[in-house]
Amino acid sequence: ICHGENIKIISNPNTSTKYHFTVGSEVLKNKTLFWTKKNDVFAYLPEYVFAYYSGISNRLEEHFDKSQKKFYTDLKNGVDSPFRPLFYARPIHSNFVLLAFYAFEDEEIKEFLEEYLQITGFHSSLFVVPKPEWKSNKGDIRFWNAKGIVAKFLDKLFAKSLMPIKAEVDIRIDFRHSVKKECWYLYLENQETLKELAKEYDNNVDFFKALESTYISDLIQETRIRVQKKNPTDGAITFKELSEGEQQLLTVLGLLKFTNQAESLFLLDEPDTHLSPMWGHEYLKILQKISGEYGKSQMFLSTHKPTTISGLQGDQIIIFEKPENGKIKAGISLISPKGLSADGILTQIFEMAYTYDEDTYNELLDRRRLLAKQMFNITEMTDSEREELAKLTTKLSDYSENFADGLFYEFIYELDKTGGLPAYREINLTDEDRIERNRKASELFEKIKQKRNSSK
């Protein structure tokens, strides 16, 4: 759904058109109609697309290169507020989000920072402004002829900073290389100074854009932010001392908060990678609380963590599978994780055969096999099997369950007799494996049922 329209796009590379578009009940005759604009806004597309990936691969980022390059060129040429529909989030954006939050403080954000990040206040920030690689003949000579929105921001920052310093310093590229660059060091000494700087902007969104535009223009090397922690013994710490997970969460929250009045699409590739299990469990709840049910935005989030999707309905989840033939399949989950434990999600949705470690699971299975034999064919038990059962019972006393249902052990016994038990030791099962296991189980239960009926 976008701009109030129910939109369906079907991709089929085997057809001449490759894509089929339906808006409401109307089938669009060609792709061009899908790019229709109303009041200078695409009628069937979101105003903004944001993407975030927590890993090191640039495959996702590459899709944003063309838009990024145009934005960069417009900024260099002094275009004020150039249009930027595609936005790829980077680690440094968490710094800009934090600055924007403290420049335009509200109680909800203040509570979030204190509750989840243990941050109680802004201490100071040092902006490192390097000489850029590009050259320009006109502009603000203090900042190597920067123009437009970037020059305006740097001028205001320069005016509010305490004792600006210009120096030639070594900028680290990696552990092998560094380069000498001319840099400004512009220091904001407290939150009041930060707020005075931000007064020039209407809201935290515009302030964030000014910060990010300056970074894109190669005129922010880093921002050395210090924040006050809740624990008095921590004192003021640098922002980079926060964990990767904390910084990632701040980035995503900021982008959601700043765009909750626009039709936006968020593509979040494993944003929970560096989060603790507790935070992963609360991740979607936190996003909803801060952004107000995501505003007008829609979100696609990929994850491998069962705790992240707990609480969702099945129709909110798309499962991607790669069978042995290599062709990726995708479909709506037929099982709802809401109400399931983490183990239940792992076994029923992620389709793990078991969640114990392999050694413990095999020992549990061996104990069940021996218990079944003890119940249904004790005369065939050897002394070594009795000894093994006693050892396993003692060893697994904290793990194993005593099942009162004799049918369970009768099934285990028959399964062992027919050589089917080894299949239950496998953790990675194909669809064919599951079908075969279910078929075998049905056969055995039918056999047990007939056996019980005949004994009546």
Tell me the per-residue pLDDT of 161-210, one tens digit each, with 9 for 90 and over. 999 999 999 988 888 889 999 999 999 999 999 999 999 899 999 999 99
Is residue 409 included in any domain, yes or no? yes
398-404: average pLDDT: 59
Structural domain tally of the chain? 3
- pTM > 0.85: no
Q: 231 and 100 in one domain? A: yes
Among 375, 385, 359, 454, smallest CA distance to 407 is for 375
User: Contact, 148 vs 75, CB < 8 A?
Assistant: yes
Last residue of a domain, one of 221, 244, 267: 244
Say which range, 83-87, 319-323, 333-337, 377-381, has the weakest mean pLDDT. 377-381
Residue with tokens 């403080």: 105
Q: 147 and 231 in one domain? A: yes
Q: What pLDDT score does 267 carry?
A: 94
Sequence-ordered strand ranges (E) for 189-284: 222-229, 236-238, 264-269
240-248: average pLDDT: 89
Q: 311 and 279 in one domain? A: yes
Q: 256 and 216 in one domain? A: no
Measured between alpha carbons, how far is 26 from 35 in angstroms, rounded to an integer? Answer: 15
Last residue of a domain, one of 213, 244, 275: 244
Q: Where are the alpha helices (DSSP H) in 8-92?
A: 31-34, 65-76
Q: 436 and 380 in one domain? A: yes
Q: What confidence tens digit (pLDDT) does each residue in 275-301 have?
A: 888 888 999 988 888 777 556 788 999
Q: 221 and 260 in one domain? A: no
Residue 113 has pLDDT above 60, yes or no: yes
Q: For residue 47, give the DSSP letter.
A: S
Measured between alpha carbons, how far is 223 from 140 in angstroms, rounded to an integer? Answer: 21
Q: What pLDDT score does 11 carry?
A: 81
243: left (phi over 0), alpha (psi -120 to 50) or beta: beta
Q: 161 and 260 in one domain? A: no
Integer-rounded Cα radius of gyration of the chain: 30
Question: pLDDT higher for 96 or 1?
Answer: 96
Q: What pLDDT score does 366 carry?
A: 92
Q: 263 and 227 in one domain? A: no
Provide φ and ψ at 384, rounded to 5°: -65, -35
For β-strands 329-332 and 318-321, DSSP reports them as antiparallel
Is residue 334 included in any domain, yes or no? no
Domain hosting 20: range is: 7-89+252-318
Q: 160 and 142 in one domain? A: yes
Q: What pLDDT score does 452 carry?
A: 67
Is residue 291 included in any domain, yes or no? yes
Q: What is the longest distance spanned by two Cα atoms in the chain?
A: 100
